[in-house]
Structure 1
Amino acid sequence: MAGIENEPWQWSEVRWRGYVNRVRAGKRLTPPWPDGKRCAVALSFDVDHETLELYNGGKSIGRLSCGQYGNRRGMPRIMCLLRKHDIKASFFVPAIAAKLYPDEQRSVVDEGHEIGIHGWIHELNSLLPPENERDLMMRSADTLEMITGTRPVGLRTPSWDFSEKTLSIAREMGLLYDSSLMADDSCYELLENGERTGVIEIPVEWIRDDAPYFAMSATEPLRPHISPEDVLGIFMREFEQAYHEGEMFQLTMHPHRIGYRSRIWILEEVIRAAKAKGDVWFATHREVAEHASLAL
């Protein structure tokens, strides 16, 4: 059969090892945490807004309105809660979302939170020619800096979609960290083709993301399949084990998911439980990466 040599079971060891080793987890960068804290808690929000509809050419007014809800109600509730508990967090923002709501992003930075790169229009990096991916990543960083006055040092790829060139571009841009991959629970150094990069990975996981639990589609058989109480239970088990191990609890949320009346309480319960421990370090992703880099 023509082309059968391209089937995975036909690959040579050199070929499959090459795929595996393109981007790999290197040295685990573990505690001690600052000031004798036992556990680090890194809260993050992907501020996608309307880009979740726009990125694939969608023009649905209904779905665009869902993105606008993230700005009108989700973000104010999140910011109020963080302000109430005096916690700083990281916000990963597509450049188009920042251009739609520049005052929102300026207020995030003005209140001491971190802004990170999250693509131009929530595009999928693996579908882009390398030159387009590079251009969009650099333009995204420039746009966030122009709007907020602060140059981002961290990247979270849209949909955590990581191309063969993403890490090389991040290194060229001098980024401190990425937060898109899933090889560990703790921070680690990224390797590129077996080479140390100095780029810190703050790993994510769908288990610690509100989107899989609360996603909704009117055109596909996709509905929230789990109660808010159950989502809290999952997040809390993740946190308690991170605390037991003395490592890091990283959480990814979205204003148009967690920001609803029946869900925002989940975030507050997580915060209250972590604060009740008395020895938890709440930190932005940048702060975690800066601390982890000391162990390189």
Structure 2
Amino acid sequence: MTGALLITVNVHGIGPEAANIPEAELFGRDAHGRYTYRVGLARVLDALRNYNLPATFFWPAAEAERLPWLVERCLQEGHELACHGRAFEDHAKLERDEESSVIGEAHETLQRLSGAAPRGFRSPTGTLSENTISILQGLGYLYDSSFLDDDCPYALGQYGGHQMVELPISEGLTDATHFRRRVTQDRAEELMCEELSALLAVDGYACLTFHPRADIGVGRLARLPLIERLAKLAVDHGVSPKLCSQLAQHVRATSAANAIEYVGE
């Protein structure tokens, strides 16, 4: 049994819009992205500190360069920094050399800002190419957390990540899935609790994904307690919060041990 709850934060400011619209044209519109910079991300960090919860923050390099002081705060407060691409490129549309350059640039930026190479990756747009995993493998990544194709972590050898682990996500455990539909906060929490309980019953694994943007994420003050209540629900199921790299190391070690045992038989 896996026995881990992952609390993850996708650091999205205006990046999703700025990938396709000149930033000058975003002034006065799409302000929910700027909310991240002004108060949203700091409030999420405050909540995690108050609740004593560890989290993995997936940073696009472009957003990290805007907010280096919050990158530093994430690390100072014991959270993990992982890569979320460069500037919201659609990786499925990139040729291998271009994708390698994009990931390499993002990797180097995050390493420079944090002082350590990121060990995890999540697609900034929800898409990967057939080359993505092998490119990450070449940079020494430990895990990816982009896929929706399983309930439990698994090894990525078949995709070129022979030393890597997939930590799958769930749309039902993503705040934006519900808040984009303008459901009430009570209804969003009800849906996420139902999904969390069901997934934890499978293998004791679940991945929560939060966003600090206004209205489609948990950055608003009234929504922040949702983080703690979901974490408490997991603890009630006997599952404790872990950083993505901690779980990935455990899964990789377990997979290697099982492979040795199988060969021995």
Partner in structure 2 of residue 284 of structure 1: 243
Instruction: Report which of the two structures shows the higher radius of gyration computed on alpha carbons.
Output: 1
CA distance in 2, matches of 1:192, 1:57: 37
Segments of 5+ residues of structure 2 without an aligned counterpart are 256-265
Aligned length: 250
Distance in 2, Cα, partners of 1:241 & 1:124: 31
**Amino acid paired to 1:168:** S
* 3-state SS in 2 of match to 1:43: strand
Equivalent of 1:205 in 160, 170, 181: 170
How far 1:179 sits from its partner (Å)?
0.2
Q: Deviations over 1:168-189 (max 9, x none)?
A: 2111111100000112111001
Instruction: Choose 106-115 or 242-251, whichever is displaced more.
Output: 242-251
Judged with a 3 Å threshold, the aligned counterparts in structure 2 of structure 1 residues 274 and 247 are, in CA distance, closer, same or farther, namely closer
Q: Is the Cα–Cα contact under 8 Å of residues 53 and 63 in structure 1 kept in the other structure?
A: no
Local SS of the residue matching 2:4:
strand
| Secondary structure of 2:7's aligned partner | strand
Q: Please point out which of 186, 207, 221 is paired with 1:250.
A: 207
**Superposition pairs of residues 70-109 of structure 1, within 5 angstroms:** 70-109=36-75
Mapping of residues 259-274 of structure 1, within 5 Å:
259-274=219-234
Q: Indicate how the Cα distance of structure 1 residues 158 and 205 shifts in structure 2: closer, same or farther if over 3 A, else same.
A: same
Closer, same or farther: CA 189–77 of 1 in aligned 2, 3 Å: same
Residue 148 of structure 1 aligns with an amino acid whose one-letter code is S
- Stretches of 4+ aligned residues off by more than 6 angstroms: none
Report the residue type matching 1:284 in the other structure.
L
Q: How far apart are 1:137 and its partner, in Å?
A: 0.5
Aligned-partner Cα distance in 1 for 2:48–2:239: 16
CA contact (8 A) 1:188 1:202 kept: yes
Q: Which runs of 5+ in 1 are unaligned?
A: 1-29, 32-38, 216-223
Name the CA distance, whole Å, in 2 between partners of 1:268 and 1:117.
Answer: 25
CA distance in 1, matches of 2:177, 2:155: 27
Give the stretch that moved more between structures: 253-262 or 236-245: 236-245
- Partners of 1:188 and 1:63 lie apart in 2 by 41
Q: Name the residue aligned to 2:108.
A: 142
TM score, norm. by length of structure 1: 0.79
2:203 aligned with 1:241: no
Q: Give the TM-score normalised by the residue count of structure 2.
A: 0.88
Mapped to 2, the partners of 1:159 and 1:63 lie a distance apart of: 21
The equivalences for 1:173-212 within 5 A come to 173-192=139-158, 197-212=162-177
**Matching residue's letter, 1:206:** E
Q: Report the 3-state secondary structure (helix = DSSP H, G, I; strand = E; otherwise coil) of the residue aligned with 1:192.
A: helix
Q: Is the 8 A contact 1:42 1:249 kept in 2?
A: yes
CA contact (8 A) 1:42 1:89 kept: yes
Contact 2:10 2:209 in 1 (8 A): yes
Give the corresponding residue for 1:54: 18
Q: Residues 139, 236 of structure 1: CA spacing in aligned structure 2 closer, same or farther, 3 A cutoff?
A: same
C-alpha RMSD over aligned residues: 1.8
- What is the deviation of 1:161? 0.9
Q: How far, CA to CA, are the matches of 2:170 and 2:206 in structure 1?
A: 11
Structure 1 Cα separation of the partners of residues 165 and 202 of structure 2: 20
Provide the rounded CA distance (Å) in 2 between the counterparts of 1:200 and 1:64.
35
Percent identity at matched positions?
A: 27
Q: Residues 154-207 of structure 1: CA distance to partner in whole angstroms, max 9, x if unpaired?
A: 0001122111211121111111000001121110011436x6723100001222
Distance in 2 between residues matched to 1:63 and 1:83, nearest whole Å? 31
Q: Partners in 1 of 2:161 and 2:70 — Cα distance?
A: 37
